[in-house]
């Protein structure tokens, strides 16, 4: 998964964000946030998936990921598609 390596994110932040993103894309309802938080440094964020759609033989979803690093919000928009192994890979 790409897209979770924003400025100020350490390895634990990236892992927590990637896990939350996978959960949001696989199970989340469109418009409902899935949150993550790293108690070690107070960094946190939320992923809000959009409505899934079919692209070729894959299901894809747009999403918005807002991270709060040192209290400052950083928002990323993207699209991810579900791979045959069940993982979601960011494509845009």
β-bridge pairing 34-38 and 43-49: antiparallel
CA distance 74 to 77: 10
Domain count, the chain: 1
Domain-embedded: residue 81 = yes
Single out the residue of 22, 65, 25, 27 nearest to residue 46, CA to CA. 65
Residue 78 burial by CB count (10 A; 0-12/13-18/19+): exposed, middle or buried? Answer: middle
Domain-embedded: residue 2 = no
- Residue entry with tokens 């409505």: 51
Quick: pLDDT tens for 13-56.
999 999 999 999 999 999 999 999 999 999 999 999 999 999 99
Confidence of residue 1 (pLDDT cuts 50, 70, 90): very low
pTM for this one?
Answer: 0.86
Domain-embedded: residue 39 = yes
Domain-embedded: residue 6 = no
In sequence order, the β-bridge partners of residue 4 are: none
Containing 46, the helix (H) or strand (E) segment is strand 43-49
């Amino acid at each position: 998964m790409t897209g979770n390596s924003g400025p100020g994110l350490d390895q634990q932040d990236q892992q927590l964000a990637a896990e939350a993103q996978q959960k949001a894309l696989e199970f989340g309802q469109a418009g409902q946030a899935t949150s993550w938080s790293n108690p070690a440094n107070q960094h946190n964020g939320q992923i809000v998936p959009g409505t899934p759609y079919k692209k070729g033989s894959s299901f894809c979803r747009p999403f918005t990921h807002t991270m709060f690093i040192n209290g400052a919000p950083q928002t990323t928009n993207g699209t991810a598609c579900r791979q045959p192994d069940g993982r979601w890979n960011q494509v845009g």
